[in-house]
Amino acid sequence: MECWAHSLGNCGGGRSREHYISDGIFDGATVTAFGLPWCKDEPVTIGLASATSKILCKRHNEALSSFDAEAAKLSRFISSNIVHEPLAHTDITLQGPLIEKWALKTFLNLGFIGALDRGVSRLTPPSNLVKSLFASDKLRNGLGLYFITGGVSNDGFKVGLAWNAIVNRKTGRPDGMTFTFNGLRLAVTAISLRAEAQIRGLGRLKGFDYSAAKVLYHPPNIIMASETAGNKRINLEW
């Protein structure tokens, strides 16, 4: 399988076994996969150590490492404060564009191996989207990260990632994906149009009602408030 960023024209170092769900973010936890050849009919939970595929060359894989590092900070903040320090009031400040590009990279990884949804074929990343991901500039308006309101509880809390494709009803192709990141519900889109209505239009999906949720593009902060636990505040600098 070739490097999905080959359109940049500067591949190097040979193909690497990229974790399509970055394993360093979740400290060796699990991921729920749905759509791969061996889990077409129902979701399967696998260890992140085995979630690899030769989808990026070494040069391009290493070029995206800063995105993984920022997402790892978010993952550890949520898991440590929900599970280990639920009563503490605490906050963290992260770089929104890096979290956003990690989410977009993960979407492209999953799309390239055909794992976004069992009804969606493999996605070849458009060259302009690949260029935007690797560029130092911010992504175009509408394209990128959304926060979806909903509760995160330490009851049955699980570290990891699960996702659902946002499929364009006209084209049948994925415009993005919603995903739960250590219980936090987010979405990432790959089109330069505001997608709040499209995300709410998913309706009730796998036990969650998107139509009743607030969908926020580039939120300045995410506050996990509770009457029985300490407030956790995630500040995102854009």
Q: How far apart are CA 23 and CA 79, in angstroms?
A: 15
pLDDT over 70 percentage in the chain: 80
SS3 call for 159:
coil
SS3 call for 141:
coil
pLDDT in tens, 203-226: 999 889 999 999 999 999 999 887
Query: In terms of C-beta density within 10 A (0-12 exposed, 13-18 middle, 19 or more buried), how is residue 131 classed?
Result: middle
pLDDT of residue 51: 59
Indicate yes or no: pTM above 0.85.
yes
* Higher per-residue pLDDT: 42 or 229: 229
- Find the mean pLDDT for residues 71-96: 90
Strand partners of residue 129: none
DSSP single-letter state for residue 113:
T
Range with the lowest mean pLDDT among 48-52, 53-57, 113-117? 48-52
pLDDT of residue 224: 86
pLDDT in tens, 52-76: 577 899 999 999 999 999 999 999 8
CB 146 within 8 A of CB 216: yes
Q: Is the pLDDT of residue 38 over 60?
A: no
Range with the lowest mean pLDDT among 41-50, 61-70, 97-106, 128-137? 41-50
Run of H or E residues at 33: strand 30-33
Backbone φ and ψ of 109, nearest 5° = -60, -50
pLDDT in tens, 181-210: 888 999 999 999 999 999 999 999 988 999
